[in-house]
Amino acid sequence: MTDRRAHEGDRPRVLVTGGSVGGPAQAWALQRAGFAVTLVERAPRPREAGQNIDIRDAGHAVLRAMGSATM
């Protein structure tokens, strides 16, 4: 078994579970903060339908800060 840290430098490793809304957002923020992030989800593929997310007011500023090209 190889040590993954050898490939990722000395970055701390984090495991984020859950790929709905919060998981990928948290993984993104942690990766930007310098963590080596692994995101896991038990669903076999991304969902094509589900609960809508209504982005209003402060949500627009958050998406712009995250670099969203659609805002």
27/49 Cα distance (integer angstroms): 21
Residue 62 CB: number of other CB atoms within 10 A? Answer: 13
Higher pLDDT, 51 or 38: 38
Q: Give the residue-averaged pLDDT of 12-17.
A: 95
Tens of pLDDT, residue by residue over 26-37, are 999 999 999 999
Q: What is the DSSP letter of 70?
A: T
pLDDT of residue 51: 72
Indicate whether 50 pLDDT > 50: yes
Give the position of tokens 């948290």. 26
pTM tops 0.85: no
Q: Give the residue-averaged pLDDT of 30-52.
A: 86
